[in-house]
Amino acid sequence: MIDDPTTNVAGPVDTDEEVQTRSNTIVRPVEHQMPLELRDVTIRYEGGGADPLTIVEHFNLGLEAGTMHCLAGRSGSGKTSILTVAAGLTLPTAGEVLWEGESLDEMDDDEIAERRRALIGYVDQGGALIDGMSALENVLLPAVPDGQVAERTEMAKNLLDLVGLGRRMHHRPVQLSGGERQRVAIARALILGTKVLVVDEPTASLDREHANQIIGILKDTTRDGITVLVATHDQELIAVADSRTYMN
């Protein structure tokens, strides 16, 4: 695996005040300049009767606020596995994940879930929307558990505007194209004021024009101070990232 930390030029949002971004989302002051860090991470899958399979070994990654990092490489090389570990959805076999400098090893499951809600938006492959709900309702879904739907509705509309779906907010997923569904999923991942966006293959199966729209949206979020970790095979997405790792 080749680490290419190239030029991490995008600086952190450094302010004591909450700032209103173009997306009208609120980016809270960055308490830590490195919102996401993986230290010496190994991922091994056991069980199922098969031999244990070590997918990733001694993997290190530190992402500065407001930058985009791409995980590239062949299918099955472990990109999704790293994303789920980075998002605290699974634990690594060895090594450490740190969110804003705090190790997940120091947190119990409830704390990890609570911190994840505040810090990380995860968009999995395909974007998984709820069929029976409109685009707007899908975006607002993460606000339901905290009873924040009413106060987040304006932001949800702004986010749908931002991703170019202002006129599609009452459409159901079946009435949207693949690229539009992916954009709804990204808006949904941002609704809680996420600082880190973790995205799996966002442009897969999209034509170039729609893929470029997604790339533009992801790049815009970094300009709003959001940190993006993305797994992709898309050379154009890889090219616009601030840094990249090639898995093999």
Ligand X SMILES: Nc1ncnc2c1ncn2[C@@H]1O[C@H](COP(=O)(O)OP(=O)(O)OP(=O)(O)O)[C@@H](O)[C@H]1O
- Shortest distance in whole angstroms from residue 97 CB to ligand X: 15
How crowded is the C-beta side of 141, counted as CA atoms within 13 Å? Answer: 18
Of 78 and 92, nearer to ligand X (C-beta) is 78
Of 19 and 53, nearer to ligand X (C-beta) is 53
Paired residues of 200 in beta bridges: 231
- Shortest distance in whole angstroms from residue 13 CB to ligand X: 30
Q: Which whole-number Å values give the CA distances from 137 to 3, 104, 149, 196, 202, in the listed order? A: 39, 31, 9, 22, 21
Of 69 and 79, nearer to ligand X (C-beta) is 79
Three-state SS sequence of 76-95: CCCHHHHHHHHCCCCCCCEE
Contacts with 248 (C-beta within 8 Å, 6 or more apart), sequence order: 1, 73, 74, 77
Of 45 and 117, nearer to ligand X (C-beta) is 45
- Shortest distance in whole angstroms from residue 44 CB to ligand X: 9
Of 4 and 111, nearer to ligand X (C-beta) is 4
Of 53 and 239, nearer to ligand X (C-beta) is 53
- Shortest distance in whole angstroms from residue 197 CB to ligand X: 17
Query: Which residues here bind ligand X, judged by CB under 6 A?
Result: 45, 53, 55, 75-81, 231
- Shortest distance in whole angstroms from residue 173 CB to ligand X: 22
- Shortest distance in whole angstroms from residue 178 CB to ligand X: 16
CA distance 88 to 54: 19
Q: Is 80 exposed, middle or buried (0-12, 13-18, 19+ CB in 10 A)?
A: middle
Q: Which of 233, 201, 207 is nearest to 218 (CA)?
A: 201
